[in-house]
Amino acid sequence: MAPNGQRRKRIGWAVVTLALLLVIAVLATVTLGDVVGRGGGELFTYRVRSGDVWVESVSRRDNAEQVAAWADGYLTLLAARFGVAKPGAVIRLLDNETRYAAFGRQNLPGFGGAMQFCYARSDGAVYGWWCPSERLTPRLQHELFHRLAHRTMPRLPLWLEEGTAVLVETLQAKDGKLAVSGPLVKRLDQAARLLDEHGLDKLTTLLDSPQATFIGPQGFDLYSLSYATAAALDSQDRLQTALRVGVAPVDGQTVLTFVSRAR
């Protein structure tokens, strides 16, 4: 073969090799992106939108549009209640709890097996699974507050964010505004027991527990105490200020007084 022909052949093989390497690199990036960067979002192929909210699912759901419309309306009222701008939101729902748990372990950084629903800061989406409305609604209320806090508030103490998220589960629309529909008595009972057991002066220490404790065996205890404290602040019209500045001075006696009156 002439030298020019050999040269062209080598160049041709080099181009083919580079093209193959590029394809492999793109495929690897997509795979890693699904698992880490986008939280596996490409799995959710059925999508509906209402206002600023997307609901995404693995398979078609007849009530997806209804859920999206409700979530958009609720997020509007939630933003108004706390005096912040309304963010957009993406809600991704698996077919059932088993598939959600498997998906979370594989795709969501920091996922804990005890998490019923969760908000992923890594991609800004709410994750859960399709379940009856009486279970779906409060769980979405809780996680939509995390979305709101992530986009519009300073980094909050864990107890303040989680306690307020539990409080949000009790907020219902009335005359175009969100109002507390009633206390979560079991959580208030547990908060009273903890204050009695550990002493009122230990409230701050208890609330400053690490995140792992909230999803471990003591999760119900700390969620209950955080909720009681956030609800006490809300009853005194101090919660919105606390969320705006990212700090909330509290004392055990104030919380215990609220708990005693609210139960």
144, 110 contact by CB (below 8 A) = no
Q: What is the pLDDT of residue 55?
A: 98
* 42-152 fold: Glutaredoxin (3.40.30)
Pair of tokens at residue 217: 């065996």
3-state class (DSSP) for residue 127: strand
Separation in Å, CA 71 to CA 82, 87, 169, 200, 228 = 16, 12, 13, 38, 25
How far, in whole angstroms, is CA 236 from its chain's centroid?
A: 26
Residue ranges in the chain whose pLDDT is less than 70: 1-41, 113-114, 212
Tokens of 197: 């057991």
pTM value > 0.85? no
Domain map (residue ranges) of the chain: 42-152, 185-262
- In the prediction, which pLDDT does 25 show? 43
Structure tokens that stand for 262 in this block: 């609210």
Rounded CA-CA distance 174/195 in Å is 33
Q: What is the pLDDT of residue 38?
A: 44
Confidence (pLDDT) at 191: 96
Asked if 170 and 252 count as a contact pair (C-beta separation under 8 A), the reply is: no
Integer Cα distance of 68 and 217 in angstroms: 33
- The tens digit of pLDDT for each residue in 33-75 reads 332 334 466 899 999 999 999 999 999 999 999 999 999 999 9
pLDDT at position 78: 98
- CA 210/CA 123 separation, integer angstroms: 23
